Structure 1
Amino acid sequence: LDFPALHITGWFDWDQPGAMFYWRGMAEHSPAADHQYLVAGPWTHPQTWAGGQTSLGEWSFTESSVADVKPIHLAFFDRYLKGTTDALPFPRARLYVTGEDRWRDFGAYPPAASRVQRLYVHSGGEANASMTDGVLDWTEPGDEPPDRYVHDPNDPVPSTTGGDSRGIDHRPIGERDDVLVYTSEPLEDTLVVIGNVFVTLHAATDARDTDWVVKVLDVHPDGRSLKIGPTEVGVLRARYREGYEETVLLEPGQVEEYRIEHFDVAHAFLPGHRIRLQVASAAFPFIDVNTNTGNPARTDTEWVIAHQTVYHDRLRPSFVELPVLERDR
């Protein structure tokens, strides 16, 4: 595709994964790559047109986060439809960074200074919420016992405790024993993350199919645990671990590697805040409950309880991939 494009999305926009898919495709492959522009605010999908609000549940933003996007559209049309100007009055990428709550301009997205850093999962085998010893840090794991939990399709982990789950305090969900919780120490310096976040799990189940569900959260000094990213969770249904073209069921007990997309963020974890990872196998009703049978989901009337194991040792590490803005470290 050879044409200029203005890409507008939000960090809490359910359709952001699609917007970023087209942004990356055009920015990397289009003959008009130098004429692609990105604007992303702390917005839900309707707010990408309406201009935003100063809060989303527990999240709060500055007045400057509320933007009138129509002048941006008009400037783009003046440049590329009417031809009345030679340049646009904004950069290739203008991003509102949540956490530090300010707009930043970049010559590319992801920024050239972003480097993927791995935040590793650790525990003594008791990362379940009721007795959690789950830790996140930058050191590679050694010989560590795995963590285990039980996924019962008749009692699924909820995606929300009420209200828009992108703006709720996720602590109550993390208190269930079928949720693993890993938390960093309080940060000493600001950590700015801009780009696509992934979580890699080495895991096994005794079922033929199951879901692996992850959340990356910002734990505030007052304890509130707020999720970053546009959707309620990142999720990978195990039968599609090799792609969506075909179904490949699991061999019970076999350890597999799962790379789960958490989608794009521009967020600053501030000093005194902590980074948290939650791992589960359901997020109902945001995603349909996996019955763990491997049967066709549309017609399945059976279910089995799945016993899940998450590994984080030297040979089978589990970790969060964060695109860290290097100059801000």
Structure 2
Amino acid sequence: MTTIKTLHIPVLLNESIQALQIKEDGTYIDATFGYGGHTKQILKKLGKTGMLYAFDRDPYSIDYSKKIKETRLKVYQKKFSKIYEFATQKKIIGKIDGIIIDLGISNMQIKNASRGFSFTNNGILDMRMNPQEGIPAYKWLLTTKEKKIAEIIKKFGEEKYSKKIAYQIVQQNKIKPIKYTHELVKIIKKIIPIKIGNKHPATRTFQAIRIYINQEITELKSILATSLKILKKNGKLTIISFHSLEDRIIKKFMIKFGKTKQFPKNMPINETQIKFLSKPILSIKKKIKPSFKEILNNPSSRSAILRIAKKII
């Protein structure tokens, strides 16, 4: 396995760790281990009886985690959708003091050209978080109909040129199949005008394909739903997202469970029961964005949003 030495800088690190309000004897979940940025900070605050479970689907991250020699830490190669099953097996449902989720793609993944995440570093167009699962992006583009490709680029990338990009992808695949990132970038650049100061023209398309290949939205919805069962009363949920699609889902989820429920009149339950059942499940904190200083030091943090909620019942 290739070793990548590029430094990864966790975004909103201090703010997200502070939001967890870590107890020395607490039990926590880092749902996105990555390269251990949040994990290491949590361990610094945990006491001898504390425990941290960390997860990542990326085998490179799991390989890196072996460098951390720590009895209070257990790291597992699992997707979000498998964490509830794990918690059930470990009998820690309702016993977790905090969950942290960082939805950003790491610098290590981007800089490793062989992973196919980058539109600036040329490599095979793979994009799988776990290269041992599913099919690489270039094979998906080769075997998928134009309409479907356009739908995915529009839905997950919010790209207004999605139909034109999909058409050109299919036409190119008929001539010579696309296999490398720069081949896809070349197609996109011919369609989208480059404007000084704007995002790279391939940003939205690469984002959309990556999200679809890894089923990132489905996985996000899975961990949001199960987090309410995994957390104990007063447990904290902290989530860092990097694009509007993810943030809307998180915001909608927190608002839904942060509202007082309304019940129709004359229901066959008494006032005490109604009062209990109508209570919101989450207390929502104000969202946090990176400071100007952080954006200056780490430009990739500019779109990050940290949302925080506490389970109150």
Higher relative contact order (CA 8 A, sep 6+): 1
TM (norm. structure 2) is 0.24
TM (norm. structure 1) is 0.23
Structure with the bigger percentage of strand? 1
Structure with the bigger percentage of helix? 2
